[in-house]
Amino acid sequence: MALNKADFPFYTSSATNINITGPGVWFVYGGTASTVVLPPRAGIPNSDLAIYRIVVAPTAAPVTVSRSSADTIAVGGVTTATSFILNPGESVDMIHSGLTWVPLFGAIPPAMFRKVAPMQTGTTFTLDRSASLFVFTGTAAAAWTLPVLSLNKGLDYTLHNRGTAAITLSPNGADTLTLGAVTASSVVIAPGQIVRVVNDGTTWIVENRPVRRLRSGKYYGIPNVAFNNTGLPTADRLRVVPFVVPESGVYDRIASEVITGAAATLLRWGIYRDGGGYPGALILDSGAVGDASTAGVKEATIAANLVGGERVWLGVAAQGGNPTMRTLAGSISLPDVGIDTADIVTFSGIAVGYFTSAAAALPATFTAGAGVQNTAPGIWLRKA
């Protein structure tokens, strides 16, 4: 039997409350979350039951499909549900079995299975509902933007950085990202990292498990090394050491200790992204704000949003003078610092980082071919 257009009419609506009154296609395109209410089942013989197709426009807000009266819906393995959500771009045919409403989805929504998107190599990209796994293979730093939070509740992304540069992931507009208990404006996905991002309807939750939990308001340095030496850092020389971020979140202070001050000297701290076993792009330049003319712990107020498990390089330069500072023990060798055979001979196998000149603002990219150092000032970060 052929169906004519009149047998299956088409309705459109942008209202926030839509009551289905007859069979056909109900196309919902409103930008505000809405509810579609199915007709009551009571009193309608099975022979008269029709199919009601509900389609949500790709640019619409999510739609709640609800039943009337005491009717129930069989969805997600539950036969007594009273409603379910249709996300933008999804559709469903609603049929009543005589006992309950049964939804027949036109296709499995992208959020419900692991579809892989084409490899991304560009410097800008906005995620969408076409896939749940996105992979970056680019060589230049990329800025990725999440879709609108309110239109994509339940969306679940896995993001894999297989490239050689970092991805900065940001929410859309005034939407937020949450890392543990911290609300962040963006999160950096370093090369080699895999991050899961889930929309709970109120925020994008970033699941990137910390290496270890930290206490808010406490300072943390390189673990399992001794800072029981002192030394002269050499004026206008930036010394950096590797640091594996223990926990994702914001770090609000960076500090070093001056043992004996030097007149007219300021400390300037920096944090560099890892560039494949060597310091890469500058994340943060604190400015020359630490007064090193007197002894004591000196610090700068910062706002560094770092990802747990990411290796960064912490650095400090004494600009203008050469104060005595708290340093790593002279016998320490950090395995994260790559050295060659000449360095093994020169430094007896001991290496803690690299150094380069820095009399003013820190270089945007750490100097290529910088010298290996066998001692460095102690640097601590405070967890916000």
Spatial separation of the C-alpha atoms in residues 282 and 19, rounded to whole Å: 57
Distance (Å, whole) CA 27 – CA 107: 16
What confidence score (pLDDT) does residue 111 get? 46
**Is 40 strand, coil or helix?**
coil
Per-residue pLDDT, 107: 58
What contacts 152, CB < 8 A, 6 or more positions away? 62, 87, 88, 111, 129, 199
pTM above 0.75, yes or no: no
CA–CA distance, 194 with 52 (Å, rounded to integer)? 41
- pLDDT tens-digit profile of 152-189? 888 899 999 998 888 989 999 999 998 776 788 888 88
DSSP 2: P
Q: What average pLDDT does the segment 226-233 reach? A: 88
Look at strands 187-189 and 167-170 and give their pairing: antiparallel
Adjacent-strand bridge partners of 116: 133
Whether the predicted pLDDT of 226 surpasses 90: no
Work out the pLDDT band at 7, boundaries 50, 70, 90. Answer: low
More confident residue, 332 or 214: 214
3-state DSSP call for residue 261? Answer: coil
Is the model more confident about 119 or about 181?
119
The H helix count followed by the E strand count for the chain is 1, 33
**Is residue 193 scored above 70 in pLDDT?**
yes
pLDDT band at 112 (very low <50, low <70, confident <90, very high): very low
- Mean pLDDT, rounded, of the chain: 87
Q: Which domains does the chain have, with CATH numbers?
A: 5-107 (2.60.120), 111-207 (2.60.120), 219-383 (2.60.120)
The pLDDT of residue 213: 76
Comparing 262-271, 309-318, 349-358, the range with the smallest average pLDDT is 349-358
